[in-house]
Homo-oligomer: A and B are copies of this chain.
Amino acid sequence: MAKAALVRNQAEEVNALQDTIYVIGGKWKLPIINSICNGNKRFREIERSIPGITTRMLSRELKEMEMNKLIKRTVYPDSPVLVEYESTPYCKTFGNIILAMIEWGKEHKKYIQEEA
């Protein structure tokens, strides 16, 4: 009985974990979300805020994330066209994950430096 419940929860949790990995997997989605949530709105601004990303990857990921309703893209067709990206409320639900990962990365760096 207790065992059955345990097994069942495990299966449910693996699935939830795999779903999450599916949605935010890859090298760039979380850094992009983080950047936009930090207030970066313009394409080049976001690009500059993420070390190593190329315009191509940023463009592709933004498109995909817009389709998945994670971000909103607004075009202001004034004389020089202006484009702005914003995070949606849904996007902000990744906050805890991102915070946990930033925390881990900082601790990891300390750990590595202590070892060396």
Contacts and interface: CB of A to CB of B under 8 A. Distances in A.
Interface of A: 10-21, 23, 25, 27, 30-31, 34-35, 38, 49-52, 90, 93-94, 96-109, 111
Say how many copies of this protein the assembly contains.
Answer: 2
A-B CB proximity, top 7 nearest: A16-B105, A20-B105, A19-B105, A20-B101, A96-B100, A97-B100, A16-B102
Contacts of A50: 14
| Main secondary structure on A side of the interface with B | helix
A23 B108 contact: yes
A15 to B, nearest CB: 7
B20 A102 contact: yes
12 contacts: A15-B51, A16-B108, A17-B101, A18-B31, A18-B105, A19-B108, A21-B101, A23-B108, A93-B107, A96-B100, A97-B97, A97-B101
